[in-house]
Structure 1
């Protein structure tokens, strides 16, 4: 009875917390309906979701949910979204109906593996892209596989999703090439135990963890400002502060580069193409990010010495709010050239060795970003004061 199903779904109240307790809900749903097995009936659970679920809840309840489903011989079929490549979050565009201000709201959308295997930074700050992984979120695909179900990937585009330039959904990876790069869907505890058997994985996890902007201890050290004040004294103050941060961050990426280069033999001993790809792309990124950060510092210095100008207003009703730092093709210094040349070579190696995969696509995207930095004026509409109570920003 489709109407009965629709009415049941419509009767579910809206949860303002924004947290999806997916794995806990799956386990409790199976346990709640275990009486349906009486009389020889078989059970299946159909999970329809556009998120990967709250990370802490997933960690606590994934294996419990799988165990409950197996005990009831219940297959789990999931209809969900493609995971973000090596990253837990995507961001959705939401425009406030009263103020007109645009918010980029985080949603849980990955990763495709039990633990993140990619850098969580784009070199300047935490990632905001939704670069496609080619696979479903780890928890959903694992639940489906372990219970004999299937994960179905929703094919439709999401117009409000923040995407990486050059990573639009019309581009698809090559199926045959991707088979060798399938994520490890074993239980997290088994994956974790393999760190002792495969030292390269321990090395990569250390680099990823130490440079993770979501790590409260590291966040202040591994992110620099990209929006700067329009009045020169404030710009100079912000620039000097972030030039120092960029200098430290160059050192961090240099440390990571050295660590990875010293572990080159471990890469050659690694049997899995996925982990070889992880090593290759992260090494290339650590070199490229040093070049971009150096160019960032030079661009700030040149702006201080010769400030750019822009109209304070633009038609129809836009006001200059700040200067945005953007990556561009043109570079400003000779000092960054050796790093640029080396990173280009490394990215090209990724493209050649991992064709038709997210690793190659990510390398192409990094090359397309350029290595220079420039400042462009950013305009926005003036703040609109609400006439009634302010509508709260939703939590997706």
Structure 2
């Protein structure tokens, strides 16, 4: 019978029972998880103090799998030898126990390799599907017999037994009447687990060290090897060290109470100490020292982040001061349209958007609240420069620009909010494309993608100002020739426009579904198509931005949107292109590196007091001549304070109206501006001016149009009277002492001429409806009405065209004479508006 020894764990004092053959191996205490190893006490001394220092003993090489931490396993014992009878011959297979000399043979009919049902035990039903429980010596009827002579499953790691030579496992009951002792069981430790050792060869048993004779007082020592079992931790994640901390806290509480009773003499120092100890208690557990992961350094490994190294910058300019305004699209609730598209795309591509690591940056003139800012030149430039400079070498970045891109004089430019195409300083208001690409080239990001959603045009509105012309060959070439390593996506090709819609309702959808704003953004915000039953794609941090797949999906969606637009006469060819390829291979992400910086957006330069600018604005500004042309208040612009001081008010509007004799010119100006506001009080194209014609032209429609013409005939007469009164004040204009009211007069005179010409043009368009002088409707395209769109040429007579030209000239003079003031901005905006009009067939039916 193999010998075992008992000893005490030096870590937790648990009783250990160790098989003799395990001596010299590293084992693990089941109670506390400490790694211990045994060493035979040298002969000639039993005192621990005289025992030689233990030397490291390499753990045995075991060819077994490690069990879970909280399970108890033992090492395999020696392979059993065949049982022999009295003559030395092997016992025949089928009988599970060795038969001693003279023992009667098994009962006739005893089935080989099976056990009979115990006396009094009911026989199980035929085909019983489950094996006998551990230690149960009887196999149910119909149970598949085990290997010959072996009645129980072989435990993991045990060699297969020799048929007929198996001895009962430890604790297995002897059959009734069996006269011989049970074979010695293989001992198992009560509170120990063996440790696996590197270097074991699969499929090859490993030799174990020979047993050594030891005594109970053999010495043990704690091994320095890493622990496998779970460590016990306290309330705040630290290892529990007993109840000492509890007594400390009780003592501190008693001291604190005593201090309060005594009048608070010692309150402050005690409270400070308590807070300090509490902070220590809540400190995160520091990692134990381990191998350093940084080159040439020491210390613990850095924590690894699971965030994807991706960033996005969206720049959207729609409220242009002097160029054709873009269609921002209908916002969803309080969510800005470009912001919702950016957020949707970032979600699909796993760009971080959480509170602690938000890598989505949006600069849009349609955002509100704390995110509201004007995308002027300095702001746009500063934003993309900050984005490029704060990007890390491992980042994959995308920059989207939605707005106007201009080619002039053989050079390409990006148009910020205040961009203009004429005047002496036009070039100073634009951003050179070469400068932008130079900043992108300096960006350290691993993958760089630029998206150009430019040359946009809304067929439902027409071109009110310059800037929405089709993309030129020179501009397309400049946009698609970026620095090496930069991928470029363009929303259209040379000779095309990027489409915009006010509310395009696609076929097959309910009336509440429509496309609005940029067709490109409408296509980009949708999730990528997934084939039926396709496996879910696995995205990793090392993957690049899926630009190639995204481009392919965009091409299909834009084509579909264009086809829907063609059915209502608002379409046009739009080809999304992809240029360039990402660097290969991309660097592996480094989760230990700090997140890319969340920079602050640059702010527009400060100017004169916004309160003063708004007072000027209230005196002379007018509702827009056409819808969507006046989106931003002048008080938001940085007008130079030194310029505006020359236009300070010398009297209030109420005082001026109260003294008509003293302020003849000023009252004439106020009356003319009030008349214009009356005619455009609710905005052009909303109530007074018809911007759509529903249904075919019939007698009912003509009767309504005739009544409208009567209103406009009266309005034209009133504006002609206002113009005469202003022209009669020309002499007063020369003697007007206030530069503020000189500017008001000049702007009022130009505005009355421009809007009077526009009224004549509109009245002419109403006459076209009366005479059926409009394009024919095409039912196959779903056309069932007309929309009023802008035109660069007037259909009115020469006198009206001359009046419009005079107005344009006056606006030009105001923009130069009053440079840096609100009048200059308003004059430039009015001058850029196309006064001509035209009827365009359209599909107006709501599905």
Counting helix residues as a fraction of each chain, which structure ranks higher?
A: 1
Which protein is bigger by CA-based radius of gyration? 2
- TM-score (norm. length: structure 1): 0.49
Tell which has more relative contact order, 1 or 2 (C-alpha 8 A, sep 6+): 1
